[in-house]
A and B are shown apart, each in its own frame.
Chain A
Amino acid sequence: MNRTLMTMAVLVFGAGTAAAEMIAPMDVVYDDGAVATSLTGGAPGDVDSGRKIMNKGAGNCIACHAVTDLKDLPFHGEIGPTLDGAADRWTEAELRGIVANAKMMFEGTMMPSFYKTDGFVRLGNAYTGKAHEGDVAPLLTAQEIEDVVAYLMTLKEE
């Protein structure tokens, strides 16, 4: 979806609610890797949904990160640090920035950019191995990013 379409969608579906505007991937503002404003324009993230996105098929975060709270799910990876206590180490804005585009916080990191739509080399059509055609959707939607951030904010140890 291009920006105008996305804005229109927000205007149509968001009619009646506060003037919420979804932020498109190209328009996200990073400040030292952090993103201060909600990508959905205010609608709060859903912790349960975020918890599901951490798993295979959606965000697939546990392919690389271990999370004790998700120990009911098999096979946590070891590429990134464990996310236990992530909310003690980072603010909500920082976590939003890391999930949206971790390369802004950690230069050259292996972590994929979940809210980015350009700058790819040989972009494929999902996992088919074929070339991608048409508009590019980010790996996670604005709402999904907010859901994951809401979930990460529950990972406190202190």
Chain B
Amino acid sequence: MNAAKKLASAIALAAVVATPALAGPDDDNLMINEELNMVTETAAPAHLQDAFDTIYSGWRFRTDETQALQIDDFENPAMIFVDQALEYFETVDGTEGKSCSSCHEDGPEQFAGLSATMPKVIGGKLTTMEDLLNAHRAKAMGAEPWKWSGPEMQAMVALIGLQSRGMPMNVAIDGEAAPFWEKGKEMYYTRYGQLELSCANCHEDSYGMMIRADHLSQGQINGFPTYRLKQAKLISKHNRFRGCIRDTRAHTFAEGSDEFRALELYVASRSNGLSVETPAVRQ
């Protein structure tokens, strides 16, 4: 028997022998606060159709207990941080004696729709929500920048993201964004580290399967920042990327690096069409 044939027989055997575990996403429907219906499954965007027919939110791969924490805002542990961000929004900081609300008098609601289109190219630079927040702090308020994955920054990213909840992710990948997107795509398929694993190995080729105790999702970012039960705080997109690359025994990239900006754009584009779920809850 050649290798391919032997393997086919091994896999056929596996199908019979292995205990049927959670295969693929579940069939649950995500309705938040009994009124906001979320798209957790939709046709893959055109640029992804070689890889997938359908994209799924990470919510569909979590246990019922974890899922339940996201269907009611009173249960959602991330909302504490959103409330804190509302306070920061009103708090004067920096040399100009201003708060966010000094300029944005209508409150964070003004930013409905913004997060669904981020990151985007502004003035030739690929810009994330974290970049926007720190730029405004510096320019309008004369305030010190917030740390990328720090509690203030991610709380504010969550508050702004919440204004787009339920809207479809819709980042641009053409025009000025194209070279950044290409770079992010190349990273997504690069097999990093001593384990030589790419994002695609886990989140495209193996989603729905168990890797050790973890049920692999498609690695979508429509719910970020997410509240991670394991860490009991909000996790930024770049922190998640850093962890996933580190786990391949690789020299990872820094949060806020140009590499991770490009990767963020590419991964966000794989979520195009899924509802913004910010702030999501994960295991």
Binding site for B on A (CB under 8 A): 32-33, 56, 60, 62-64, 66, 68, 74-79, 81-82, 84-86, 89-90, 105-106, 110, 112-113, 120-132, 139
Binding site for A on B (CB under 8 A): 1, 3, 6-7, 9-11, 13-14, 17-19, 21, 190-197, 201, 205-206, 209-213, 242, 245-252
Q: How many angstroms from the CA of A78 to the CA of B202 in the assembled complex? A: 12
In the complex, are the beta carbons of B17 and A79 less than 8 A apart? no
* A–B complex contacts, Cβ < 8 Å, 12 sampled: A33-B3, A63-B212, A75-B212, A79-B211, A120-B196, A121-B190, A123-B249, A123-B250, A124-B252, A129-B251, A132-B251, A139-B195
Given A89-B6, A139-B194, residue A124 in contact with residue B251 (CB < 8 A): yes
In the complex, are the beta carbons of A110 and B205 less than 8 A apart? yes
Q: How many angstroms from the CA of A126 to the CA of B193 in the assembled complex? A: 9
Most buried by B among A63, A77, A126: A77
Q: How many angstroms from the CA of A127 to the CA of B194 in the assembled complex? A: 10
**B2: nearest chain-A partner, CB-CB:** A32
Q: How many angstroms from the CA of A125 to the CA of B250 in the assembled complex? A: 7
B212 partner residues in chain A, CB cutoff 8 A: 56, 60, 62-63, 75, 77
Given A121-B191, A124-B249, residue A81 in contact with residue B7 (CB < 8 A): yes
Q: How many angstroms from the CA of A78 to the CA of B11 in the assembled complex? A: 10
In the complex, are the beta carbons of B7 and A129 less than 8 A apart? no
Given A81-B11, A82-B10, A110-B201, residue A74 in contact with residue B213 (CB < 8 A): yes
B246 partner residues in chain A, CB cutoff 8 A: 124, 127-129
The 9 closest A-B pairs by CB, nearest first: A129-B246, A81-B10, A131-B251, A75-B213, A129-B252, A63-B212, A78-B209, A122-B251, A82-B14
B10 partner residues in chain A, CB cutoff 8 A: 81-82, 85-86, 89
In the complex, are the beta carbons of A106 and B191 less than 8 A apart? no
How far does the Cβ of A91 sit from chain B's closest Cβ, in whole Å? 11
In the complex, are the beta carbons of B14 and A81 less than 8 A apart? yes
**A117: nearest chain-B partner, CB-CB:** B194
Q: How many angstroms from the CA of A145 to the CA of B246 in the assembled complex? A: 24
Most buried by B among A62, A106, A112: A112
Q: How many angstroms from the CA of A129 to the CA of B241 in the assembled complex? A: 11
How far does the Cβ of B66 sit from chain A's closest Cβ, in whole Å? 17
A125 partner residues in chain B, CB cutoff 8 A: 251
How far does the Cβ of B135 sit from chain A's closest Cβ, in whole Å? 27
List 13 extra interface pairs beyond A124-B193, A124-B252, CB under 8 A.
Answer: A66-B17, A77-B212, A81-B7, A81-B14, A85-B13, A86-B10, A89-B10, A121-B190, A122-B250, A123-B194, A126-B249, A129-B245, A129-B252
**B191: nearest chain-A partner, CB-CB:** A121
In the complex, are the beta carbons of A75 and B251 less than 8 A apart? no
A79 partner residues in chain B, CB cutoff 8 A: 206, 209-211
Most buried by B among A74, A121, A128: A121
B7 partner residues in chain A, CB cutoff 8 A: 81, 106
Given A78-B21, A79-B206, A105-B3, residue A112 in contact with residue B213 (CB < 8 A): no
B211 partner residues in chain A, CB cutoff 8 A: 63-64, 77-79
A110 partner residues in chain B, CB cutoff 8 A: 197, 201, 205-206
Q: How many angstroms from the CA of A62 to the CA of B209 in the assembled complex? A: 13
Q: How many angstroms from the CA of A74 to the CA of B205 in the assembled complex? A: 24
